């Protein structure tokens, strides 16, 4: 049983853990939450969940303090996609442009035998997500075997992000039998017209599949998987979010993940970003939360309203940046394997979603080493360097240029409005990071199948 399970089944321990944890929360953070959350009831319900999560978080931050550069026990949360094939061509997604530029690209769908070689990486992961990079993991022909292998060998929360179109009886059975914690369905519209502008395929089919998934899960009296919806707010879908909230209220949906559309190089560009008129969007967001409260589902929306930054906010934040040091925990918690779109049997590897400095041809690697070693991935000297330099002054190291840019508000603004500018800036900062890294890290091991990837983004994301 994991630590959450132990706490849930032991009320006294839970109360003690809460008493221990509360003083650790800074008063201003609580005040900030209270200001932002939509109502007290939802604050209490989400805060109770957060308390359950705290012991795990404490361990991670303790790990961060003790082992500043080299946490030995592996990633807490792991993300990996299992196929770069996709049955959709969503206009919002990088895939549209990637297909135009690389019409003969290979398909990477990892086989169960290659996947088993990653075993050492999964041992300490509490969360394993089928997500990262382009593609639909449900198209991997070994999908059922892969999830069974994970379930039989590790005790981790499993989740998958999918367009939902391929959820048939067999796949749903696999998700239920292997106790997936959640299925995150990318559903950025609830009308046929908007769905076809942002995504592709049939909205009716996806809604039908959600209905079947709920029925099959409930028939077994199960509470897993929870169904979550990913909904990227933009100018095309903003007003129909009211209707999406009604859908959430009328169906057994656990969470409506409202976030911001990002200006990748798909068929729709920054023109649909709400960052162009943030005041208007923020007013509508207030109305959406009121509507959700009336429908009694406000607790199913993000606890912090997904406001857009106004020009005034951005000016203020960019001034603050001069004097404050940002904070990022990702390199101590995450490991990401993003399937390469343009090269066979290859993953880009990073300790955060923003930067993947290793390119791993797992066929060549496994041929030589048999299984994937933590020392070559999670504890690779590049990742140790990132850990030393991502959060400012640390044992003589100053913050590296990429993390400085990443933590600045301007990056998010560019990502939402003009990703070309974001990529241009990122490229410069990644180059500076490698210049500094080569001065400070004298030994970079030669590992068969693993190359150091010095570009800001994989080609499909450029
Ligand atoms: C690249 S997809 C891969 C997983 C799967 N194919 C899917 O669509 O759910 C990862 C997530 O990014 C979302 N996404 C794609 N383009 C986006 C954009 N321009 N802005 C925000 N989210 C986007 C997708 O809808 C999905 O939720
Ligand atoms: S968003 Fe997902 S479903 Fe849509 S094209 Fe991209 S990878 Fe495929
Ligand atoms: S680039 Fe640096 S700051 Fe940004 S997510 Fe990665 S590690 Fe964190």
Q: Which domain, by its residues, includes 223?
A: 83-308
Q: Is 186 in the pocket of ligand 1 (CB under 6 A)?
A: yes
Query: Are 285 and 225 part of one and the same domain?
Result: yes
The SS3 call for residue 249 is: helix
Say if residue 215 is in the same domain as residue 358. Answer: no
What's the helix, strand, coil split of the chain in %, to 5? 50, 15, 35
288/409 same-domain check: no
Q: Are 41 and 113 part of one and the same domain?
A: no
In the block, residue with structure tokens 């930067």? 355
Ligand 1 in contact with 265 (CB < 6 A)? Answer: no
314 is a domain residue: no
**Is 318 a domain residue?**
no
3-state secondary structure of 269: coil
User: Within a domain: residue 376?
Assistant: yes
Q: How far is the CA of 166 from the centre of ligand 1 (A)?
A: 16
Q: What is the pTM of this model?
A: 0.85
State whether 207 and 119 are in the same domain: yes
Last residue of a domain, one of 308, 341, 358: 308
In angstroms, what is the span from residue 135 Cα to ligand 2's centroid? 6
414 inside domain: yes
Neighbours of 365 (CB within 10 A): 24
Query: What is the C-alpha to C-alpha distance for residues 132 and 140, in angstroms, rounded to an integer?
Result: 14
Distance CA 400, CA 429 (A): 9
- Count of structural domains, the chain: 3
Is there a single domain that holds both residue 293 and residue 359?
no
- Per-residue confidence in pLDDT tens, the chain, 462 aa: 444 555 455 544 444 444 444 444 434 444 444 444 444 544 454 445 445 444 433 444 444 544 444 455 789 999 999 999 999 999 999 998 899 999 999 999 999 999 999 999 998 888 999 999 999 999 999 999 999 999 999 889 999 999 999 999 999 999 999 999 999 999 999 999 999 999 999 999 999 999 999 999 999 888 899 999 999 999 999 999 999 999 999 999 999 999 999 988 777 888 899 988 999 999 999 999 999 999 999 999 999 999 998 888 877 776 665 555 568 889 989 999 999 999 999 999 999 999 999 999 999 999 999 999 999 999 999 999 998 888 876 566 788 999 989 988 888 888 888 888 999 999 999 999 999 999 988 889 999 999 999 999 999 888
Domain-located, residue 316: no
Same-domain check for residues 186 and 286: yes
User: Exposed (0-12), middle (13-18) or buried (19+): which is 88, by Cβ within 10 Å?
Assistant: middle
Q: Is the CB of 261 under 6 A from ligand 1?
A: yes
354 lines ligand 3 (CB under 6 A): yes
Query: How many CB atoms within 10 Å of residue 43?
Result: 18
Task: Tell whether ligand 3 has an atom less than 6 A from the beta carbon of residue 406.
Answer: yes
Residue with tokens 């005041």: 279
Q: Is residue 317 part of a domain?
A: no
Gap between the Cα atoms of 112 and 131, Å rounded: 17
CA angle 437, 439, 443 (to 5 degrees): 75
- State in Å: Cα 301 to ligand 1 middle: 19
Residue minimizing CA distance to atom 8 of ligand 1: 163
Domain contains 325: no
Residue with CA nearest ligand 2 atom 1: 93
Residue nearest to atom 4 of ligand 2 (CA): 90
> Which protein residue has the closest C-alpha to ligand 1 atom 24?
186
Using most ligand atoms within 8 A of CB, pick from 93, 129, 201 the residue to mutate for ligand 1.
93
Which residues neighbour 195 within 8 Å (Cβ) at sequence distance 6 or greater? 187, 188, 189, 203
The answer on 361 and 450 residing in a single domain is yes
Q: Rounded to whole angstroms, what are the CA distances from 360 to 119, 202, 338, 451?
A: 16, 35, 10, 6
**Residues 156 and 212 reside in one and the same domain:** yes
C-alpha distances in Å from residue 46, one per residue of 39, 67, 223, 461? 11, 31, 18, 35
Q: Which residue's CA is the nearest one to ligand 3's atom 2?
A: 403
- Could you tell me which of 328, 345, 325 has the C-alpha nearest to residue 337? 345
Same domain, 140 and 240: yes
Residue 176's closest CA among 139, 211, 218, 209? 218
Ligand 1 contact, 200 CB (< 6 A): no
- Do 90 and 229 lie in one domain? The reply is yes
Query: Which ligand 3 atom is the nearest neighbour of the CA of 386?
Result: 7
In the chain, the N- to C-terminal Cα span, in Å, equals 43
Residue 228's domain is classified under what CATH number? 3.20.20.70
Tell me how far apart the alpha carbons of residues 349 and 303 are, in angstroms, rounded to a whole number. Answer: 31
User: Does residue 380 share a domain with residue 285?
Assistant: no
């Amino acid at each position: 049983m994991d630590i959450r399970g132990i706490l849930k089944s032991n009320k006294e321990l839970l109360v003690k853990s809460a008493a221990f944890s509360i003083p650790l929360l800074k008063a201003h953070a609580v005040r900030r939450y209270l200001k932002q959350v939509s109502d007290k009831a939802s604050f209490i319900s989400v805060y109770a969940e957060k308390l359950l999560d705290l012991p795990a978080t404490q361990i991670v931050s303790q790990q961060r303090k003790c082992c500043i550069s080299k946490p030995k026990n592996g990633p807490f949360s792991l993300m990996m996609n299992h196929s770069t094939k996709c049955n959709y061509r969503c206009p919002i997604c990088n895939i549209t442009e990637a297909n135009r530029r690389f019409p003969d690209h290979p398909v990477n769908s990892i086989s169960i035998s290659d996947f088993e070689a990653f075993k050492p990486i999964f041992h300490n992961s509490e969360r394993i997500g089928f997500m990262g990079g382009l593609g639909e993991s449900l198209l991997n022909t070994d999908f059922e075997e892969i999830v069974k292998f994970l379930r039989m060998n590790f005790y981790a929360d499993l989740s998958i992000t999918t367009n939902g179109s391929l959820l048939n009886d067999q796949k749903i059975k696999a998700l239920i039998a292997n106790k997936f914690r959640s299925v995150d369905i990318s559903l950025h519209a609830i009308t046929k017209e908007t769905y076809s502008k942002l995504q592709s395929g049939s909205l009716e089919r996806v809604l039908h599949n959600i209905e079947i998934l709920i029925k099959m899960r409930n028939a077994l009296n199960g509470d897993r998987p929870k169904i979550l919806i990913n909904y990227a707010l933009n100018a095309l879908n903003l007003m129909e979010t009211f209707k999406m909230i009604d859908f959430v209220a009328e169906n057994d949906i656990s969470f409506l993940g409202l976030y911001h559309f990002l200006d990748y190089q798909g068929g729709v560009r920054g023109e649909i970003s709400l960052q162009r008129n943030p005041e208007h969007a923020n007013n509508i967001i207030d109305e959406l939360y009121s509507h959700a409260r009336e429908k009694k589902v406000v607790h199913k929306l993000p606890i912090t309203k997904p406001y857009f930054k106004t020009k005034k906010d951005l000016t203020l934040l960019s001034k603050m940046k001069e004097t404050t040091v940002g904070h990022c925990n990702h390199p101590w918690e995450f490991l990401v394997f993003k399937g390469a779109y343009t090269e066979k049997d290859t993953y880009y590897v990073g300790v955060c979603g923003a930067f993947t400095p290793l390119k791993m041809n797992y066929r060549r690697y496994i041929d030589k080493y048999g299984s994937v070693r933590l020392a070559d991935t999670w504890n690779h000297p590049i990742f140790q360097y990132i850990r030393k330099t991502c959060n400012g002054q640390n044992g003589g190291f100053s913050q590296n240029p990429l993390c400085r840019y990443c933590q600045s508000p301007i990056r998010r603004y560019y990502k939402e409005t003009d990703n070309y500018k974001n990529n241009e800036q990122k490229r410069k900062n990644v180059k500076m990071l490698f210049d500094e890294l080569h001065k400070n890290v004298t030994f970079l091991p030669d590992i068969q199948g693993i190359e150091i990837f010095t570009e800001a983004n994989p080609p499909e994301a450029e």
